[in-house]
Structure 1
């Protein structure tokens, strides 16, 4: 019979370095997942409490849990500027669904009632989609137009609020910034001041533009061109457009490729890097994410294997972080902050 000495027994009980690494990694991953779930639940609890609390002014103007929320007044008009059909869901779906749900919550508040909404003619805010191209790079422009309309309808945006332009769909083309600015100026006039009554409303409540930042999420030149055109809106001599309409510009934060494909597990990084800044944080719940996937399935021409990987692993399908570029129109909020419906912060970031 072979006997094991006490020293040999003690040595055999010491785990190998690979076992230590495995256990340590497992503990770290579990801890990270728990943090992700905690932030996710705290965000949505805070969002619902903010919408339904009796004292909205105090709630929205305090930074509960560090979450930055945007709750536009029902009279606000909101324009999303995208470059291609499918951008609306691949990058902006969490925000579109967030605005849809926020509007539905506002309709249930005692401050407003169905008569108010019917009289004013509001429907899920006045959300518009301006798409610069038809997605005709492979000659499928007409099909992709219809796919965009079907996708937006799934997201709750009617076809009457979608405009598709004829800029070149080419990843190697960067649009002339002044030509794009003039084009955008004409359409912001159309969307934000479509009649005299709406013009009066716009003088009281903020209007919003949501689009790409200077990197365009993926570095696509068409995406980056939008930002270049919007820069001219913030220049001193252009600080009003033709209708003398004031609006806020929000740009979607670009991140590195590793974070881009962490899906919901990028949430702790996004939260802790943004909670002390002036950024807006929007996080989809499971129902909103599922609807976003259904929306993308309308883009039949884009259903390839790598797109399926994208909708599963992309952080932009469930998290949007927005930077606010108010620049020279920031002083407006010091005088025209209307009650509790505009939870925004002034930004000193330059374009």
Structure 2
């Protein structure tokens, strides 16, 4: 009975709380680069953002830069292909999905990546907007956190006027609140005051199904038991809030 009630109410709640307004002008008609560390970051953490910003009505050119192949378990070539498949499900053209295999940027839970190398890669793509993790990296992964520092170095030294948005890390009780966090986050769309420039994306039920498919159908090599828990409970599957730096 509880399962039936959940399946009935979830689409309704996600419909009610889904992003009611378009993103600001800075996220329309522009070249956006999503900067991630590993294949599957785009689906596990940024799916609501990708689904929203690839809408044809916004006229964006959206690219994904994945700075490693996720080769910690020698699955790099497989995970590169999975990344492309996932991005296509989430609305990104396969020709705009780029992964890198640089010796200084290897998948590691203990390694901080050099900001200068990340900035160098960004300079080769000339982004107008960069979207990446914040200083906590959602999961405190050092590779995630390194991306923000590299992006900040690029923005501060390139002189290109590139805008930087970072994905907000939240406490664990909110991280696994799933669609319930969408109810609260809807009211933060457009900023919280105190100089915070915040953009909130809340997926519809169809968006959640698409994000789930990106993980289950594309990232087959990563679908272990705990991934199912993430898909079923993580607010990042349905909610993204970005802060402009």
SS at match of 1:250: strand
Q: Which of 86, 98, 110 is matched with 1:163 structurally?
A: 98
SS at match of 1:163: strand
Distance in 2, matches of 1:260 and 1:42, equals 17
Q: Which of 210, 214, 230 is matched with 1:295 structurally?
A: 214
What is the 5 A alignment of 1:77-156?
77-101=31-55, 103=56, 105=57, 125-156=60-91
SS at match of 1:152: helix
Alignment gaps of 5+ in structure 2 = 1-8
Output the TM-score relative to the length of structure 1.
0.60
1:324 counterpart residue number:
244
Larger Rg: 1
SS at match of 1:137: helix
What is the 5 A alignment of 1:1-351?
37=13, 41=16, 44=19, 46-47=20-21, 69-71=23-25, 75-101=29-55, 103=56, 105=57, 125-166=60-101, 167-187=105-125, 189=126, 192=127, 207-235=128-156, 238=157, 240=159, 245-272=160-187, 275-277=191-193, 278-297=197-216, 298-325=218-245
Q: State which drifts further: 127-136 or 158-167.
A: 158-167
Computed over aligned residues only, the root mean square deviation of the Cα atoms, in angstroms, reads 2.3
What is the deviation of 1:74? 5.7
In the alignment of these two chains, the number of paired residues is 227
CA gap of 1:290–1:43, structure 2 versus 1, over 3 A, is closer
Distance in 2, matches of 1:75 and 1:185, equals 20
Distance in 2, matches of 1:40 and 1:252, equals 22
Task: Please tell me whether the aligned partners of residues 176 and 234 of structure 2 are also in contact (alpha carbons under 8 angstroms).
Answer: yes
CA gap of 1:267–1:96, structure 2 versus 1, over 3 A, is same
Output the TM-score relative to the length of structure 2.
0.85
- Between structures 1 and 2, the one with greater strand share: 2
